[in-house]
Chains A and B, each alone.
Chain A
């Protein structure tokens, strides 16, 4: 049962990693704009005009 101590400490470490990830995300400004990314994600990628004419048949 001593192993539970080891497991407890390990779980704290992993959870702590997630906390650090959250804090880093807030710090880098990812929560500044929470509406636009949801719209942006639905756009198609079109890089050049020539590619555009090729893909005119799709969607």
Chain B
């Protein structure tokens, strides 16, 4: 194999270099800064966009562009995925929902779906190929359910077609794409609502006092009483079942949860009402019971907001592709499932592809490997023939062969998950702790009431005690908290912070230690700053060098390319004949881009570290200093805000950098560099042992997974929330990273809303109990007080949280 690679890109469309006013691409709308292709008065920023546009136009689908301003997605940075493994029936089996002789149905994950035009285009896919019968898109989940005829259009061709129009499907093992709605909860709410409304309707005569007035009045009371009794039974047994069962389990195992006082109230209401109706004493409290169940269930539904699009449990299976490329004895490349790779197999890895298993490198030349995602080292590693390379690394510019040494589950880096602690027992949350006190207090009052009335009138005593149990409602606990947390979760999600479940909100006040990963979390993944030391080139030179860089995927080429596009330079025509020499640089005729030695540049006069040079016939054209990953926006605000809350720590797999924004804010002993993923995990684990205060960890890659699991609040930072994020308690969109201190402030302020709700609930309960102990509680009063208090609690909470949100800094940035 040659150790140089000749890359040439021929385009047969007209290519123009224009001056300073970038035209907008007719497909994706982005400015044509780096490249400009013009056809029939339409302009495109890259050949990918041009191709999609022509394809849509040829099939009469160009209404696509009328539907949404941002309809087309830029095709510039797309990495072509290999779908050849879909031809293997065994490997694709997992992704097929349904298959018979004619039809096949697959539910595909299409992360590029982003607007209504995408839905329209995909649902009209049958116009691009007749093999597609129907497509149904689920926008929130970014999936499409496709029914097609494999004979006319194979699964592999379907995937290629989707990739060509800009929606490459993503196949990841172990992730079920079926939408998950809690149907049972919806049935329960439907039934409870139906019965609630109807019972209240039948209780109307009672409310208006009519059931005792007329001659027929008595029999109406009996009739409606029994009718209500019949109606409440299915609600109690189906909708209320979960509360009763949970309370029973709680008592049996000695764990006190909020279901116990709720069950107490439900049973008190039910039995008292049955007693009243069967003995024809009164109408019963069925309306209050139905209302209570209805509100509780709605609260449950509101609190259980899930983000079906996101996966909080990203493990290696969501990062690795489905199939590896195995080289058979006769030199053919066949796809084989990742889990079927055996030690000794010879695998092929393409440029940009992932190394699937640990193994030995088999390549006549040295190759570059990017381990940044798995170990956190942002600099590419060079390896030579026979070196051991690890699963999870990415091949940079050369393809190579790999002799597998281990199966994929035994990979070195996967050991991080093996050692991770299993599901910790759910800590008892606020709701459960409060309900313990509540039950005790209510039972004591009921008992006291009974004893008080005992000497005078036992009947009244029992009646009053029962009333106490009926009216005392843990609505603050059972309603205020779910609605408060549910609202907070939704508001935070609007700002890019997605919590796995609402209980995590209780961790926020405790957080006093913030452990930060550097690469990819505090710094951008891709954006690199390249300081220019010296240069002597003109615009034409720059345009040419930019076009040369475009053809290489080496991080330094990309950095240089970024440097040009930031200065709004347009690349020249893609030249043919650019050579990339591994370990040295790029060569095109007399032009050389790379290390100072390769460019034949004398570096003795320059003090600083030189990372990249450009030369023409040996003459210096440009010299660049040390490249650095760019820091994220708003880092100052982020660091200052967090440092006011607690201690900050930086962990990184890189060597110690110079000139960081956190120099003055984080002490040197709290900065740790050259950490392996295991070091990071150990650091957080040690910190956990040292302190009982809450630890928050922020990380973005596989190398942070171990540490994220050990933290009290592990936040996975992600530039694109729909793609891979390591397993954590929360996902934070990278653009909103700087708002984390504001999020914490906001959540802490909402505690006041809860206090206000508790106060109100206390007032309600005191009022209700005062009436109850005197034996004056009647169904009418209960029917008014209970729903009223429930609705008021919910309103106070939602109104309160929104008010705090509006006066906080968050609202201003929305």
Contact B119 A40 (CB under 8 A): yes
Contact B127 A42 (CB under 8 A): no
Contact A22 B190 (CB under 8 A): yes
Assembled-state Cα–Cα distance A33/B144 (Å): 12
Q: Which residues in B have their C-beta under 8 angstroms from that of A43?
A: 67, 119-120, 123
Contact B119 A52 (CB under 8 A): no
Q: Secondary structure at chain B's binding surface: helix, strand, loop or mixed?
A: helix
Q: Using known A-B contacts A33-B138, A35-B140, determine if residue A49 contacts B119 with beta carbons closer than 8 Å.
A: no
Q: Using known A-B contacts A26-B190, A49-B59, A49-B127, determine if residue A39 contacts B119 with beta carbons closer than 8 Å.
A: yes
Interface size on B, residues (CB 8 A): 34
Contact B183 A42 (CB under 8 A): no
Q: Which residues in B have their C-beta under 8 angstroms from that of A42?
A: 116
Interface assignment of A15: CB less than 8 Å from any CB of chain B: yes
Interface assignment of B187: CB less than 8 Å from any CB of chain A: yes
Contact A39 B190 (CB under 8 A): no
Q: Which residues in A have their C-beta under 8 angstroms from that of B202?
A: 8
Assembled-state Cα–Cα distance A32/B140 (Å): 10
Assembled-state Cα–Cα distance A22/B141 (Å): 24
Chain A residue at minimum C-beta to C-beta distance from B124? A46
Q: Within residues 134 to 150 of chain B, which ones have a CB less than 8 A from any CB in chain A?
A: 137-141
Contact A15 B198 (CB under 8 A): yes
Contact B140 A33 (CB under 8 A): yes
Contact B60 A53 (CB under 8 A): yes
Assembled-state Cα–Cα distance A43/B139 (Å): 15
What is the CB-to-nearest-CB distance from A50 to chain B, in angstroms, rounded to a whole number? 9
Contact B183 A27 (CB under 8 A): yes
Chain A residue at minimum C-beta to C-beta distance from B115? A39
Contact A23 B63 (CB under 8 A): no
Q: Which residues in A have their C-beta under 8 angstroms from that of B141?
A: 33
Contact B140 A31 (CB under 8 A): no
Assembled-state Cα–Cα distance A27/B202 (Å): 29
Q: Using known A-B contacts A1-B216, A15-B198, A32-B179, determine if residue A40 contacts B190 with beta carbons closer than 8 Å.
A: no
Interface assignment of B223: CB less than 8 Å from any CB of chain A: yes
Q: Which residues in B have their C-beta under 8 angstroms from that of A52?
A: 60, 63
Q: Using known A-B contacts A26-B190, A46-B63, determine if residue A36 contacts B119 with beta carbons closer than 8 Å.
A: yes
Chain B residue at minimum C-beta to C-beta distance from A32? B179
Q: Within residues 8 to 24 of chain A, which ones have a CB less than 8 A from any CB in chain B?
A: 8, 11-12, 15-16, 18-19, 22-23
Q: Secondary structure at chain A's binding surface: helix, strand, loop or mixed?
A: helix
Contact A31 B198 (CB under 8 A): no
Interface assignment of B784: CB less than 8 Å from any CB of chain A: no
Interface assignment of B788: CB less than 8 Å from any CB of chain A: no
Contact B187 A26 (CB under 8 A): yes
Contact A8 B227 (CB under 8 A): yes
Contact B183 A36 (CB under 8 A): no
Chain B residue at minimum C-beta to C-beta distance from A26? B186
Instruction: Tell which of B59, B138, B139 has the most Cβ of chain A within 10 Å.
Output: B139
Assembled-state Cα–Cα distance A2/B215 (Å): 12
Q: Using known A-B contacts A8-B202, A12-B198, A19-B190, determine if residue A26 contacts B183 with beta carbons closer than 8 Å.
A: yes
Assembled-state Cα–Cα distance A49/B119 (Å): 19
- Chain A: number of interface residues, binned into ranges: 20 to 34
Q: Using known A-B contacts A15-B194, A39-B139, A49-B127, determine if residue A33 contacts B187 with beta carbons closer than 8 Å.
A: no
How many A-B contacts if CB must be within 8 Å? 70
Q: Which residues in B have their C-beta under 8 angstroms from that of A46?
A: 63, 124
Instruction: Tell which of A18, A22, A27 has the most Cβ of chain B within 10 Å.
Output: A22
What is the CB-to-nearest-CB distance from B287 to chain A, in angstroms, rounded to a whole number? 15
Contact A36 B140 (CB under 8 A): yes
Interface assignment of B447: CB less than 8 Å from any CB of chain A: no
Assembled-state Cα–Cα distance A4/B210 (Å): 14
Q: Using known A-B contacts A15-B198, A49-B59, determine if residue A23 contacts B140 with beta carbons closer than 8 Å.
A: no
Q: Which residues in A have their C-beta under 8 angstroms from that of B127?
A: 49
Chain A residue at minimum C-beta to C-beta distance from B137? A36
Q: Using known A-B contacts A35-B140, A39-B139, A49-B60, determine if residue A19 contacts B181 with beta carbons closer than 8 Å.
A: no
Q: Which residues in A have their C-beta under 8 angstroms from that of B201?
A: 11
Interface assignment of B191: CB less than 8 Å from any CB of chain A: yes
Assembled-state Cα–Cα distance A19/B119 (Å): 32
Q: Which residues in A have their C-beta under 8 angstroms from that of B216?
A: 1-2
What is the CB-to-nearest-CB distance from B380 to chain A, in angstroms, rounded to a whole number? 42
Instruction: Tell which of A11, A15, A32, A53 has the most Cβ of chain B within 10 Å.
Output: A32
Q: Which residues in B have their C-beta under 8 angstroms from that of A31?
A: 181, 183, 186
Q: Within residues 675 to 691 of chain B, which ones have a CB less than 8 A from any CB in chain A?
A: none
Q: Which residues in B have their C-beta under 8 angstroms from that of A1?
A: 214, 216
Q: Which of A23, A34, A39 contacts B116 (CB 8 A)?
A: A39
Assembled-state Cα–Cα distance A23/B63 (Å): 38
What is the CB-to-nearest-CB distance from A58 to chain B, in angstroms, rounded to a whole number? 12
What is the CB-to-nearest-CB distance from A27 to chain B, in angstroms, rounded to a whole number? 7
Assembled-state Cα–Cα distance A54/B139 (Å): 30
What is the CB-to-nearest-CB distance from A23 to chain B, in angstroms, rounded to a whole number? 6
Per-residue contact bits, chain B 99-128, to A (CB 8 Å; 1 contact, 0 not)? 000000000000000001001100110010
Assembled-state Cα–Cα distance A20/B195 (Å): 13
Per-residue contact bits, chain B 178-217, to A (CB 8 Å; 1 contact, 0 not)? 0101010011001100100110011000000000001010
Chain B residue at minimum C-beta to C-beta distance from A51? B60
Q: Which residues in A have their C-beta under 8 angstroms from that of B191?
A: 19, 23
Assembled-state Cα–Cα distance A39/B67 (Å): 11
Assembled-state Cα–Cα distance A2/B446 (Å): 42
Q: Which residues in A have their C-beta under 8 angstroms from that of B140?
A: 33-36
Assembled-state Cα–Cα distance A22/B67 (Å): 33
Assembled-state Cα–Cα distance A23/B191 (Å): 8
Contact B179 A33 (CB under 8 A): yes
Contact B194 A19 (CB under 8 A): yes
Assembled-state Cα–Cα distance A41/B197 (Å): 32
Please name 14 further chain A to chain B contacts, defined as beta carbons within 8 Å, in addition to the given A34-B140, A39-B119, sorted by A numbering: A5-B223, A11-B198, A12-B227, A15-B198, A22-B194, A26-B183, A26-B186, A31-B181, A32-B179, A33-B179, A36-B119, A36-B139, A43-B123, A44-B63
* 10 A-B residue pairs with CB within 8 Å: A2-B216, A4-B220, A15-B194, A15-B198, A27-B183, A31-B186, A33-B139, A42-B116, A43-B123, A53-B60
Using a CB–CB cutoff of 8 Å, the interface residues on chain B facing chain A are 59-60, 63, 67, 116, 119-120, 123-124, 127, 137-141, 179, 181, 183, 186-187, 190-191, 194, 197-198, 201-202, 214, 216, 220, 223-224, 227, 231
Using a CB–CB cutoff of 8 Å, the interface residues on chain A facing chain B are 1-2, 4-5, 8, 11-12, 15-16, 18-19, 22-23, 26-27, 31-36, 39-40, 42-44, 46, 49, 52-53
| Nearest 8 Cβ contacts at the A-B interface | A49-B60, A36-B139, A32-B179, A19-B194, A39-B116, A33-B138, A26-B186, A22-B190
